[in-house]
Amino acid sequence: MSDPPRKLSRRAFLGGLALGAASAAAPGAARASDGYGKGGVHGRRAEELCAFLDISRCINCQQCVYACRETNGHKFPEPKKPFPKMYPNKVPVEDWSERRNVTDRLTPYNWLSIQTAEVEWQGKEYRLHIPRRCLHCQNPPCANLCPFGAARKLENGIVRIESGLCMGGAKCRAVCPWQIPQRQTGVGLYLSLMPRFAGNGVMYKCDRCFDTKVAKGELPACVEVCPESVQSIGPREEIVALAKRRAGETGGFLYGLEDNGGTNTIYLSPVPWEVLNEAVDSRGKHKPDLAAKPNVMANEENLASAVFAAPVAGLAAGVFAAAKSIRDRKGGADD
């Protein structure tokens, strides 16, 4: 526990941002700073940003919750009312604009919420606080399955939803293992298309301060403000090593490392996560649980090889079949 996580987090973070700084100096600077990142394909997962949260340090002061609002408030929805009547009329309206102060759950105006668990483990009582927000999955189903390309993963690992393109169909929430993104009706692109028949607003969630902080080489607001240095952030490889080392030193338990195929948010708890999951208030809707999550994209990842093999196999089969039919025809003519 002698580790100075704040310093370490800064060093790790700034080291990780060497890449960001390089791109800011390059001609692509405007795009880099709007968070879209540079073009091109890459698989350098080590350079993805990853956060580590030691929940035993969190005192539930909520400073991170308010810092998030302050830093990202200008992105919050300002819906037009009355909302267009939607067809069919069973389509749910989700309006948080009159309840912006809610902090005990995720909403379009509250991207970070603290859960509390009171548990007994091995004869000891614990009261633990868990900051909850998007985990920034490594292979995010919300982004992979967004039909409109509105939810996307940036090359620095940040998963964000482009509010100008989101239709608010909430598919990202349906496929997210933790149901993180939250909808606000009455804003966004759908209003300019067929507001009665398609779409229902815009989905909101933590974007890791991609533009307000990270693009400038600064720490995300919630990381920076925390008086207890609960969070560290940096290149994934270093953060994973840190998390494993700390878990080894403290005999603690990690969450997020393997969940949903791996996330860029790794929690450390002194108590097993199954125990915490039983104790947190996750039964109400939109209060994410803490159960172990299998990779929801695993089947797709397996089937992908069939998709890639199909054209090659088809081509070969076609050539073979044509050759055979030519042979057969020739054979027939010879008879």
Partner 1 sequence: MTRPTAAAMPSILRRAFPWLVFLLALTGMAQMPIMKRYSISDLPGLGWLADFFTTHLVHYALGALFLFLLSWALGATLRSGVLPRLTVSGMLRAGLIAVVAVTGILRVIKNDPGVTLDPYFVLAIDWVHMIAAFLWGLAAIAFRLARRGAYTHRSQRGG
Give kind and range of the element (H or E) at residue 128.
Answer: strand 124-132
Instruction: CB nearer to partner 1: give 150 or 268.
Output: 150
Q: Which amino acid is at 235?
A: P
Binding mask 115-134 for ligand SF4 (x = CB under 6 A): --------------x-x-xx
Q: SS3 string of 262-313? A: CECEEEEECCCHHHHHHHCCCCCCCCCCCCCCCCCCHHHHHHHHHHHHHHHH
Distance CA 296, CA 135 (A): 14
If DSSP codes are grouped into helix, strand and coil, which group holds residue 56?
A: helix
b/e per residue 301-318 (b: at least 16 CB within 10 A): eeeeeeeeeeeeeeeeee
Give 67-103 as a DSSP string: HHHHHHGGGS----SSPPP-SSTTSPP---TT-TT--
Residue keyed to tokens 């991609």:
210
| Angle (deg, nearest 10), helices 18-25 and 5-16 | 40
Task: For residue 138, give the DSSP letter.
Answer: S
Which amino acid makes up residue 151?
Answer: A
Using CB under 8 A, which of 123, 307, 331, 334 touches partner 1?
A: 307
Residue number with CB closer to ligand SF4 (23 or 138): 138
Residues 6+ apart with CB under 8 A from 136: 49, 50, 51, 157, 158, 159, 206, 208, 263, 264, 265
Stretch that binds partner 1, among 109-117, 186-194, 235-243, 292-300 (CB under 8 A): 292-300
Smallest gap from residue 206 Cβ to partner 1 (A): 17
- Closer residue to partner 1 in complex, CB, 61/191: 191
The correct pick among 27, 39, 248, 331 for binding partner 1 (CB under 8 A) is: 39
Binding mask 210-239 for partner 1 (x = CB under 8 A): ------------------------------
- Segment contacting partner 1 (CB under 8 A): 54-62, 177-185, 274-282, 295-303? 295-303
What does 43 bind: ligand SF4, partner 1, none (CB cut-off 5 to 8 Å by kind)? partner 1
Site residues for partner 1, 247-266, by CB under 8 A, read 261
| Nearest distance, CB of residue 234 and partner 1, angstroms | 18
What span, in angstroms and rounded, lies between the C-alpha atoms of 6 and 232? 7
Residue 144 engages ligand SF4 in binding (rule: CB under 6 A): no
Dihedral angle sign, alpha carbons of residues 225, 32, 183, 191: positive
- Of ligand SF4, partner 1, none, which one does residue 297 interact with (CB within 5 to 8 Å by kind)? partner 1
* Among positions 14, 145, 191, 257, the unique one binding partner 1 when judged by CB under 8 A: 145
Out of 154, 221, 268, 279, the only residue in the binding site for partner 1 (CB under 8 A) is 154
| Residue 29 sits in the site that holds partner 1 (CB under 8 A) | no
Residue 207: name the closest of 228, 231, 182 by CA: 182
The residue (of 71 and 107) whose beta carbon lies closer to ligand SF4 is 71
As measured in angstroms, the least distance from the Cβ of 76 to partner 1 is 22
Least separation in angstroms between CB 273 and partner 1: 23
Rounded Cα distance between 335 and 321, Å, is: 21
Asked if 68 interacts with ligand SF4 (CB under 6 A), we say: yes
Q: Quick check: 209 binds ligand SF4 (CB under 6 A)?
A: yes
Q: Enumerate binding residues for partner 1 (CB under 8 A).
A: 36-43, 45, 88, 91, 138-139, 144-149, 152-155, 162, 165, 169-171, 174-175, 198, 261, 296-297, 299-301, 303-304, 306-326
